[in-house]
Structure 1
Amino acid sequence: MKQMAAQKAWTDEERLELAAQLDAELDAFIDGLEKKRYEEGWPEDRWQEEMDKHPFFMKRAPQPGDDVHPMFEGLQKLKYDPEENTRDELALNYKEDGNFYMKHKKFRMAIYSFTEGIKTKTDNPDVLAVLYNNRSAAHFFIKNYRSSLSDAQRALFYKPDYTKARWRSAQCAYELERFDLCTQMCEELLEVDVDNEVAIALLHKNKMKKLEIERNQRKEAAEAKRRLTRFHRLRDAIEQRAIKFDDQKVGKKDVLSEELLYPKFLPLEDHPVHLDEDGSTLIWPAAFSYPEFLYSDFYQQLPETTTMRDCLATLLTEKLPYDKAHNYRLGNVHVYYENRKVGCVHKVDEEKQLAEIIAEKGFFVSGGALLFYVVHKDSRVEQEFINERRRPMVYS
């Protein structure tokens, strides 16, 4: 008490003056300290970049090729180093990573993580079952149904009562149209839970799809048989008429394929030669070319009983687009076909039917169609066409 009484009584002005004096002494002390540059922190111009790399502040996981923060490397080592973790711990760490990627729909990254977990060679069947089942789910979501089924079956190997893996197997089997396996998986699920609604629904759906596919297969088989029968009849009709094809390989004259009969001209490609309804008349695709104009007309279905004059009457009913002089009219044109094997042309008798023309020794079906050339009669164009130099076809 005596000590307190002996203390000086300070006025407000004295207190302010003392505070100012202490501040000035502190500033002088700080200014007298040795100046040293701050070098241990992040550079100001790369502060945000360094922040994003720090494992405590990063907003996304490092990508392949990125520079990794030393602390992040340390954390990785703690989590993934075989010397710091048992096989089970490593497998579970990769499983957690995979589940994280699954949650964010990064299914390919999830597959990678689950695969790394399997590679740890843990001998824990429960952990392996989960890893295979989860990888099966990741494959399923990107529609890798075959891989998904394989993993689901592997999960069942390690854990035979694994309901999730059995359900995934059923789903994959349905998508792969392995109906018997799907039925087996669904029935096994119903043995455990007779009221499993999703298994009941898939079992019914699987049965309906199997019936539909089997019905379609029967239809396709019947149609294929009918198509083969039609082709055999067509082939017999062509062989009976001794019709020749200029693109038939040497030494393979007896081989008549559907490809050989397929028209190579774009407007005719959907109209190959065929028999009429009563099976007695061949219906041909035909092309009529006008060399003078580099122009062509096409018949998609031309009966072999038609005469060349009838063909011309139809073709020349209207004036040709480029025939300004109207030279191309009935009675004022000649028709030729080309024998490409020997490199020459033959004039067509307009009174003959197509069947008679096709039967001539020098006539060959070209590119799956009948090919004729129409020129102005007794003109320079006709002479040039006849005298044009043609090289015989060369066969390999």
Structure 2
Amino acid sequence: ALFPTELARMYKNEGNEYFKEKDYRRAIVAYTEGLRKKSEDPELNAVLHTNRGAAEFHLGNYRSALNDAIQAKKLKPTHLKAIIRGALCHMELKNFSEAIAWCEEGLRIDSKEKKLVETRAKADKLKRAEERDARRAKVLERKEQRQKEVLLAAIKERNIKLVLEPSNEEEEVADGLAEISLDGFHPDNATGAKVHLDAEGNLNWPVLFLYPEHEQTDFIEAFHENSRFIDHLMVMFAELPPWDLERKYLPRNLELYFEDEERAEMYELSPEQTLLQVLQHKRYFVKAGTPTVLAFVRSSPFSKKYFSGKKVHRL
């Protein structure tokens, strides 16, 4: 019967043959079998770990390869192959500080080891770039935070009420303006358009128009708060939309409403009103950063049916 060390050496040789053939999976199996024999030769075990780590590395299993390099280094602290492999694994895992530390450890053993010198220089360069990018990201984050605070202050100043994104199952309505905060405030809508302050300090909102009768929508990316609804309707319906086969959607023919979802009530608004005047209504709540308005053809059969049974506050 073969002793554990002889068996381990046999599996090491088998693994080396597979490694030469670039059959890394079989090489890993062979090296693993060698380690299972629990040889009492630490040098041999260090080599098995190092070789298995090399095979794992070639398969892109960098974390497993690193674990083998760590084990090999414990067994033989001066094993340069294991130290180089560990440094390369840290590079692949983008752990640049750790890669530098491993390189320096190896360079204390051999100060001229080319691979370690190169890897150390590359890791240092990438670490500096990563730190620079992190600093830039932090500056940008602070700038965006300040912009958001200025934006929220402008909304608060105008007595506009926001429905914040729910932090739990319940929707949280910012009824008192003191509750408007940065937490949960998402001024973007699904299209990426967002409420913003222009150079003159005026708010421009993304606004959604819904046409329930035809299940159609219109979207205005930047509706100036001092623009009137009629001004937009004149542009939007300068040409009749293809879905308006009865040619009913004429600007002066339309009634506009907003819905108070909390009370399940509808409020008519005047097309002559500005967006700001509507947003300042005591029962208007802006959801998901996007004001929404519903448009109906005045006295149409659909409109009468839609509003039957609903509480409607008309002008």
Normalised TM-score (structure 2): 0.86
Q: What SS does structure 2 have at the residue aligned with 1:288?
A: strand
Counterpart for residue 198 of structure 2? 276
Task: Output one character per residue of 1:104-153: Cα deviation in whole Å (capped at 9) or x when no partner.
Answer: 33323332332232222222111111011011112211222222122112
Does residue 306 of structure 2 align to residue 385 of structure 1?
yes
Q: Deviations over 1:73-128 (max 9, x none)?
A: xxxxxxxxxxx221101211222232233233332333233223222222211111
Whether the 8 Å CA contact 1:241–1:359 is kept in 2: the answer is: yes
- Quote the residue 1:368 is aligned against: 289
**C-alpha distance in 2 between matches for 1:239 and 1:116:** 69
Match of 1:222 in 2: 139
CA 1:374–1:388 in structure 2 vs 1: closer, same or farther (change >3 Å)? farther
Distance between the aligned counterparts of 2:225 and 2:34, measured in 1? Answer: 73
From 247, 252, 261, give the equivalent of 1:340: 261
- The alignment status of 1:163 with 2:85, answered yes or no, reads no
1:187-198 → structure 2 map (5 Å cutoff): 187-198=104-115
Q: What is the alpha-carbon distance in structure 2 between the residues aligned to residue 356 and residue 131 of structure 1?
A: 77
- Give the structure with the higher percent strand: 2
Q: Is the contact between residue 188 and residue 288 of structure 2 (CA under 8 Å) also seen in structure 1?
A: yes
1:340/1:263 Cα in 2 relative to 1: closer, same or farther (>3 Å)? farther
Equivalent position amino acid for 1:334 in 2: E
Q: Match for 1:320: what amino acid?
A: P
Deviation at 1:193, TM superposition (A): 4.6
**RMSD (CA atoms):** 2.4
Report which stretch shifted further, 221-230 or 372-381: 372-381
Residue 130 of structure 1 is matched in structure 2 by 47
Change (3 A) 1:389 1:95: farther
Residue of structure 1 aligned with 2:156, choices 239, 264, 267: 239
Residues 1:146 and 2:63 are matched in the alignment = yes
Residues 311-322 of structure 1 mapped to structure 2, 5 A cutoff: 311-322=232-243
Q: Assess, with a 3 A threshold, how the Cα gap between structure 1 residues 258 and 327 changes in structure 2: closer, same or farther.
A: farther
Cα contact 1:135–1:151 (8 A) shared by 2: yes
Structure 1: gaps (5+ residues):
1-83, 391-396
Task: Please state whether the residue corresponding to 1:302 is helix, strand or coil.
Answer: strand
Take 2:257 and 2:238, find their aligned partners in 1: how far apart are those partners?
A: 20
Q: In the alignment, does 2:20 pair up with 1:98?
A: no
One-letter amino acid of the structure 1 residue matched with residue 198 of structure 2: D
Pick aligned residue for 1:327 from 228, 234, 248: 248
Task: Indicate conservation of the 8 Å contact 1:261/1:273, yes or no.
Answer: no
Q: How many residues align?
A: 303
Show structure 2 runs of 5+ residues with no match. none
> Residues 227 and 103 from structure 1, CA distance in 2 versus in 1: closer, same or farther, beyond 3 angstroms?
same
Greater shift after overlay, 95-104 or 344-353?
95-104
User: Is 1:85 matched with 2:6?
Assistant: no
C-alpha distance in 2, partners of 1:108/1:277? 62
Structure 1 337/252 Cα, relative in aligned 2: closer, same or farther at 3 Å? closer
Shift of 1:308: 1.2
> Does 2:178 correspond to 1:261?
no
Percent identity, please.
30
Higher mean alpha-carbon deviation, 366-375 vs 339-348, is at 366-375
Residue 250 of structure 1 deviates from its aligned partner by 5.2
The answer to which of 312-321 and 323-332 deviates more is 323-332
**1:68-83 correspondence to structure 2 within 5 Å:** none
Alpha-carbon separation, structure 1, partners of 2:62 and 2:157:
52
Q: Check if 1:288 corresponds to 2:213.
A: no
What is the CA-CA distance between 1:275 and the residue it aligns to? 2.3
Secondary structure of 1:320's partner? coil
Alpha-carbon shift at residue 281 of structure 1 (Å) = 2.0
Q: Which amino acid aligns with 1:231?
A: K
Is the CA contact (8 Å cut-off) linking 1:292 and 1:375 kept in structure 2?
Answer: yes
Distance 1:190 1:287, change over 3 A: same
Q: What secondary structure, in the 3-state scheme, does the structure 2 residue paired with 1:261 have?
A: coil
The residue that corresponds to 1:56 in the other structure is: none
- Name the CA distance, whole Å, in 1 between partners of 2:154 and 2:87: 52
Following the alignment from structure 1 to structure 2, what is the Cα–Cα distance between the partners of residues 103 and 214? 40
Q: Distance in 2 between matches of 1:263 and 1:114?
A: 54
